[in-house]
Structure 1
């Protein structure tokens, strides 16, 4: 068995913001009826609180009315999935480790919203830290959230990580600032 490694192998690009490979990240997808009392109780028994719509709190991201993404350390994802699976044994649910199918990138700097706005059909002027968006990033599916006013995490499929890195790198080139969020 080979050692796990990030598909972008630590890539970093600096422009008016820094785009970087976030490295290996543990991710567990939980598909279930998030309004069902038994589901909520099972998740709660694992220390997981269902966040409100389109929010990420303590590594638990609301992805859809029937989907959560649990973000954790890479090595911890299998054990977390087993724990959640066991707790949800009496509910209708699908719990699956998706760490190796996804890539995580970071965008860091005062121009983060601007770099993302060039690529995503999202009203970044109203996007608050901790709010998750599933959207298109140029030509591919992605999800992202602002950690704070200047830092974002982006999740995409591993197969398109190089493309996502490249379009973010191009969007963040020095001299390409539009100034929408810096006026």
Structure 2
């Protein structure tokens, strides 16, 4: 009988450090998409606040902390990152487990902004993209979610099937930035 082994999306690829920037896999307990039922945004936000300590995020924002974060993912949608969802949320939103669908990495260090500047069409400089800001955008040719989680730290989410490409593209940009320094 074949024995299947569970592997993380970036297993064997990370962690890496180049120059002052590091890239590591971020493994939240759970990833859950919340798609709010029509007309229930406020009620869902209140329930999310009471159940998990954070409100539904505004467009291009994230709420919560490193242990439990809600990331804006589109109109009336958020990705709950960290805790398993309180299932009472199903009364206000479609609640769909996404834990195996995404590769989640953390890019951090002096120069992380420069690395992303080579790959994304979004200004991620601190002056405009502060902690808690998030964007659904392109990184190279992949659709990603980028959230600033620290002064020089970003959480990046891409489809699991693109994990190897995500790491490759980020590593090449890290090498390019380090070569300049």
Q: TM-score, normalised by structure 2?
A: 0.82
Does the 8 Å contact 1:135/1:141 carry over to 2?
yes
Go from structure 1 to structure 2 and tell me whether the alpha carbon gap of 1:176 and 1:165 turns closer, same or farther (over 3 Å shift): farther
2:45 is paired with a residue whose SS is helix
Q: Deviations over 1:91-129 (max 9, x none)?
A: 4x3111101000111111110111011000001232111
C-alpha separation in 2, matches of 1:36 and 1:160: 31
- In the other structure, the counterpart of 1:5 is 7
> Which contiguous aligned blocks of 4+ residues in structure 1 show a shift greater than 6 angstroms?
none
Separation in 2 of the partners of 1:62 and 1:23? Answer: 19
Stretch moving more, 17-26 or 149-158: 17-26
Deviation of the 1:50 alpha carbon: 1.4
Distance 2:80 2:26 in 1: 16
Residue number in structure 1 paired with 2:48: 43
The match for 2:113 is 113
Q: Which moved more, 1:11-20 or 1:109-118?
A: 11-20
Task: Give me the whole-angstrom Cα distance separating, in 2, the residues matched to 1:34 and 1:145.
Answer: 27
Unaligned runs of 5+ in 1: 178-183
TM-score (norm 1): 0.81
Distance 1:127 1:101, change over 3 A: same
1:37 and 1:109 map into 2 onto residues whose CA distance is 37
The DSSP-based 3-state class of the residue aligned with 2:119 is: coil
Unaligned regions of 5+ residues in structure 2, if any?
none
Alignment of 1:98-177 (within 5 A): 98-125=98-125, 126-173=128-175, 174-176=178-180
Q: What is the CA distance between 1:41 and its match in structure 2?
A: 3.8
Quote how far apart the aligned CAs of 1:2 are.
5.0
Q: Which residue of 1 aligns with 2:25?
A: 21
CA-atom RMSD in angstroms? 2.2
Report how many residues are paired: 167
